[in-house]
Amino acid sequence: MHSHTLLGIDLGTSALKAVLVTDQGRFIASASRAYPIRRPRPDRAEQDPSTWWDALVGCMGALRDRGVVEGVQAIGLSGQMHGTVLLDRQGRPLGPAVIWPDRRSISQVARFGQQVGLERLIRIAGSPPATGFMAGTLAWFQEHEPQLWARVRHVLLPKDFLRLRLTGEMATDPSDASGTLLLDVGQRTWSPEMLAAAGVRPALLPQIRPSAQVAGFLTQEAATALGLAAGTPVVTGGGDTACSALAAAAVSPGTLLLTLGTGGQLVWPVDRPQVDLQGRIHTFCHVLEPGVDRAGWYQMGATLAAGMALAWLREKVFGLSGEDAYAEMTSWAQEIPPGAQGLLFLPYLVGERTPHMDPQARGVFLGLTPSHGRGHLVRAVMEGVALALFDAFQVLAELGAVPRAGILAGGGSRSRLWRQMVADIFGLSVRPLQTAEQSATGAALLAGAGLGWFDPADAARQWAALGPVEGPDPGRRARYRALGAVYRALYPRLRDLFPGLAEPDRAPEADP
């Protein structure tokens, strides 16, 4: 058994993952336990914090059964961002946690934006106001649950509540705190102005510590429950996006991280906290402390339907369900030239985030003719997703992004055709990330850095397992440039028509 084992824990939205790695970043084992999102009303999204702890105990039990948990030297934490856990004087939850898809605070968020002023808010907090973020949730409780609010003594983010259970200590880090709208993102400290606007006493919030600093030690009770040694150091950790960027070695401005999951994300690490005053992207703190050739912040754009668009085509249009369905669809698309012979797809199936911020936008096929078949549809959908990501990237480019290389993560990164499209459309060499359990691995890396074993940015570059380079082809790049011009002209022409398509009995909604 390796004597330098690190444990990374990622408290996700739907499951908790625990990963064991060596101090060289070599994967040893992982386990996962799912838990539900409770939706007592359509605008609510809640989780019982005890299910997070139960999931961790279950994961550790599974890893113990495989005989791989001896020698854990430190624990790192990553977690879903924006959520809110209200605690009493003893540090016990006063009710379920309110997590990021929750929409109950629409009116509080609107008021918060008006009160502070949108540009001022973005300048300080780095992001436009949104439901599910802690600031709005806390304002909702003050207004709708004043008796409960009177009993609140501490407020924690999800992964910080887990650390409280592990160590008895309360803390948070800049990367997760920057998802609350209560942080001064440039200063990496709580903002007195934002706290005052949200009606939050500073004493309710935990101390902010660096992500790679030891924030406490495993209590005897927690150690017994998990089968680990009491006194094991637990580092502060970070938000899941920042931890996954660390595991992908997106640690300096030369690297753009593109994630093709259900939705698509762009993460551009930056060494100074620039914001987009139009609110089209988020500027969050990274898990790295600012320094030379290391990004203390990252800018993030998002497109809502990436893999979701291909899954829609597979299930609803082609009715395919086998394990090889995507491979079959890709083989059809490979026979079709770039540009799908004049067929374009806008992937706005559930609205769009960057750059349009329009929940009423809808998916569109443009240019259908009798000669178009299934391969054209697949190719157009894949190209449409890549073009949507490039559209989002234009905002980062406006703010100065000039990446030298791209790293592609998420399920879509396994498709060589999709990687090639991204390389051609972005004019960038891209490599697929092959690191399993990205966020949990980033948390484990922070644990090793907290022990002083290595510098986190250096270790990230050594740990990241990257596949072969896919470079852009000049001919295809020119074709996509022409196609991109048509693609970008479409949304402004259709924007005013989308609301007319909404079903009269309900306004369309898109998860952030």
Which residues belong to the active site?
240
Over the chain, what is the mean pLDDT? 95
Which residue did the predictor score with more confidence, 505 or 378? Answer: 378
Whether pLDDT at 2 is above 90:
no
Each residue of 310-326: pLDDT tens digit? Answer: 999 999 999 999 889 99
Going from the C-alpha of 19 to that of each of 7, 8, 53, 222, 416, the distances in angstroms are: 6, 5, 16, 18, 27
Whether pLDDT at 78 is above 90:
yes
The SS3 of residue 255 is strand
Each residue of 201-255: pLDDT tens digit? Answer: 999 999 999 999 999 999 999 999 999 999 999 999 999 999 999 999 999 999 9
Residue keyed to tokens 């090889």: 324
Under DSSP, the state recorded for 316 is I
Q: What is the pTM for the complete model shown? A: 0.94
Please, which pLDDT band fits residue 421 given cuts at 50, 70 and 90?
Answer: very high
Segment 260-269 mean pLDDT: 95
DSSP string for 321-351: -STTHHHHHHHHHHTSPTTTTT-EEE--BTB
Q: Identify the structural domains of the chain with CATH numbers, from first to last.
A: 5-242 (3.30.420.40), 249-304+396-463 (3.30.420.40), 307-393+477-501 (3.30.420.40)
**Which candidate, 276, 257, 183, places its Cα nearest to that of 413?**
257
Each residue of 11-42: pLDDT tens digit? Answer: 999 999 999 999 999 999 999 999 999 999 99
Each residue of 142-195: pLDDT tens digit? Answer: 999 999 999 999 999 999 999 999 999 999 999 999 999 999 999 999 999 999
Segment 491-503 mean pLDDT: 92
Each residue of 265-311: pLDDT tens digit? Answer: 999 999 999 999 999 999 999 999 998 878 999 999 999 999 999 99
Are 56 and 226 within 8 A, CB to CB? yes
pLDDT for the residue numbered 294: 84
pLDDT for the residue numbered 99: 96
Instruction: Collect all residues with Cβ–Cβ distance below 8 Å to 334 and sequence separation of at least 6.
Output: 375, 417
Burial 123-152 (b: 16+ CB within 10 A, else e): bbbbbbbbbbbbbbbbbbbbeeeeeebeeb
Segment 125-138 mean pLDDT: 95
Whether pLDDT at 66 is above 50:
yes
